[in-house]
Structure 1
């Protein structure tokens, strides 16, 4: 009898607890379900060449900048993005228009959009154009935007490395911020070592962190680079621009190709220079058309490479394939001022990253680029809705874990 009463007692308690919990849940205020997170999954592809893309983190809008003005890279000297044409596009210093419109490089929604597009096109990582640590010109802004970018790279499952602009060292000295150009470079390199090089997704080649230099332009002797690198615990795998490694001497591990006039320079690099280098990084580009003269930003570069309906990119990717490269740099993701962008534009749509996807041999041939753009558009449209943002967070998590069908379904449910 006691056993029966005990069981009955516990049974009643269990029912009471269950009802209480249910009642408690029913009365709790509606709040968005926390998104399920997933580790990033690498995209499957057949091309073993590591594909990196050169990235400019230097764009500002009138909402993001301290002075509430559009940044120079959208305006140059004479363009005003506050002027909106009949076609709905802002006036910017470029012959081409980003599909998502002009943006702030530190905007998390923009970064999410860029990195997901890269991932699904088969790009392995980002080579970030970097202007050092000194508060000169817009360098601090570039550094801050860079670190917003880096914060999301790991979540998406992409690598990165720094492309150091050593020209900044002279500007740091001229501004009274550094005592010498080598001292400025040492400060910048120490920062990289302490904040970037040890990241698990920082690109390593031959076991050492990869560092590219856009030049050298100021530090033009091996002795200067030896002096700069002597302060580092681990000397990086250091690549200069093509035909410039002599200026770094034994400090240079190799060179990377760039864009110039026509493809004969690439052919020469692959045929004559690459065999002599320990590390060689090729290049591919869709065209080159700078806006400097029209934008009042100085003299034009003096030559143009027409896109030729995608034929220029086809040719440079074909040259890269035939060169059997270990590393390829796409030039560039978003240099709108020079017209070299792979980023989707009004003019070219997704055609350039579709070509990269084919080159990479991405196995998932499903169309996802428009859905990634839709994710961005909804981020902006629904910025005031916590519920919608949680769903979009979940869609992002599906995308990075290679579950695009689930991501699309969730995106399409948001009205």
Structure 2
């Protein structure tokens, strides 16, 4: 499959041209030349489509109207306003993001995340999505998702929605919809009208990909048939592993997840994958939830140790041996469950370095620290218009695979 390369053209970038001319030269001055920059797909050798599961649910005290940190940084008993002697905030996780805790709708954060993914050889992201209704934090998740989508095209990455039907009952109980199926119809009509039509929305077998974390609430084929009957475009619909029976013929296949140990992956590839029309594998660096310590409920009850990257190596090898066409990485940033590929204080860039190797990225240059430097400069130079213009140019150079130029322009910022 050809990699998607967006045709979006960025704003013209000024290149100062110093032209020498004699005093008696009467010819008109040449206009400043400009360079048009497009996002370019990274070159890689692995044909497997590699997608990253992404959580757009984080809030900070600067992003909320009540100036409180969001649940996913605090759970029930952590306060990120408390800063330790090491300079780190108190968050509900055993692991600490390299850029610190953040707001998922922050454009600087999104820029950092997507550039790191691009240079890792990741083709697109699978966005955990709660629907359209203004209940609990669902609207915030939707707004953050759309900030993310706005930048995906600029970076040259694809995306698809992972629908969480588990929250439909909350929508009905809040009086926002008359039934769970009517709420789902509203949500998926929105997805069809606003996301499916995007040129960089992931298509499988010519149809837009829609994934579901479950099903949890809509548990019968009749309910899913009812929901999908309102769509003009029937999606390639993937359920969580062993859950497609709940959707019946509406399901095109299943995707693997993370559970207890790697034997469940082996079983999926050996026994389930051959029966599916579409099968999406998974790989993960580990699993260690913070729920009990954070007062966020009972612990999941099992742990998969990260083992200094050995767990990720093993799950990638299992996927490679299974010859999967599609691979989901679990997850970019579920810090509460410790499955994050996002660079952390504890693991550095090691997990995305492994993905870069797995995907066969031809550019062996170590660009990840420079992408982090772009983020640091964005924050440091907040309000400095000239510096931000240069950083915009650096961003454009990064997405067009001109990292040397990006480094050069960043070096000019004092």
Looking at structure 2, the residues matched to 294 and 244 of structure 1 have their Cα atoms a distance apart, in angstroms, of: 30
Q: Secondary structure at the match of 2:162?
A: strand
Aligned twin of 1:346: 345
Match of 1:224 in 2: 223
How far, CA to CA, are the matches of 1:174 and 1:164 in structure 2? 19
Offset at residue 271 of structure 1 (A) = 0.4
Alpha-carbon shift at residue 37 of structure 1 (Å) = 4.7
* Alignment of structure 1 residues 18-29 onto 2, 5 Å: none
1:86 corresponds to: 85
C-alpha separation between the residues in 2 aligned to 1:324 and 1:202?
A: 24
2:400 corresponding residue in structure 1: 401
Distance 1:71 1:288 in 2: 22
RMSD: 1.7
1:6 corresponds in structure 2 to none
Q: 8 Å contact 1:40–1:157 — kept in the other structure?
A: yes
Deviations 1:346-389 (A, max 9, x none): 00000000000000000000010000000000000001211111
**8 A Cα contact 1:161 1:203, kept in partner:** yes
* The structure with more helix, counted as a fraction of residues: 1
Q: Deviations over 1:78-125 (max 9, x none)?
A: 000000000000000000000000000000000000000000000000
Q: Does 1:47 align with 2:85?
A: no
CA deviation vs aligned residue, 1:334-356 (integer Å, no higher than 9, x gap): 00000000000000000000000
Distance 2:42 2:145 in 1: 24
CA distance, structure 2, for counterparts of residue 362 and residue 69 of structure 1: 41
How many angstroms apart in 1 are the aligned matches of 2:66 and 2:157? Answer: 33
Q: 2-side partners of 1:319 and 1:288: how far apart?
A: 17
Determine the structure 2 residue equivalent to 1:241: 240
* Map of 1:337 onto structure 2: 336
Provide the rounded CA distance (Å) in 1 between the counterparts of 2:36 and 2:320: 36
2:305 aligns to what?
306
Q: Which runs of 5+ in 1 are unaligned?
A: 1-13, 26-32
What is residue 150 of structure 1 aligned with on the other side?
Answer: 149
User: Which position in structure 2 is the counterpart of 1:60?
Assistant: 59
Question: Match for residue 180 of structure 1?
Answer: 179
- The equivalent of 1:288 in structure 2 is 287
How many angstroms apart in 1 are the aligned matches of 2:287 and 2:324? 23
TM-score when scaled to structure 2?
A: 0.92
Distance 1:304 1:103 in 2: 26
Q: Name the counterpart of 1:139.
A: 138
SS at match of 1:405: helix
Does the C-alpha gap of structure 1 residues 34 and 411 become closer, same or farther in structure 2, counting only changes over 3 Å? farther
State the Cα distance separating 1:294 from its structure 2 match: 0.3
Hey, what does 2:254 align to over in structure 1? Answer: 255
Cα deviation, residue 155, structure 1: 0.2
Tell me: CA distance 1:272–1:178, structure 2 relative to 1, closer, same or farther (3 Å). Answer: same
Distance 2:148 2:204 in 1: 22
Matches within 5 A, 1:182-197: 182-197=181-196
The 2-side partners of 1:274 and 1:232 are apart by: 28
Distance 1:66 1:170, change over 3 A: same
Asked whether 1:163 is paired with 2:139, we answer no
- Give the TM-score normalised by the residue count of structure 1: 0.92
Show the counterpart of 1:267.
Answer: 266
Partners of 2:33 and 2:185 lie apart in 1 by: 44
| Structure 1 consecutive aligned stretches of length 4 or more whose deviation exceeds 6 Å | none
Give me the whole-angstrom Cα distance separating, in 2, the residues matched to 1:43 and 1:257.
26
Query: Once the two structures are superposed, what CA deviation does each residue of 1:57-95 show, in whole Å capped at 9, x if it has no partner?
Result: 000000011111100000000000000000000000000
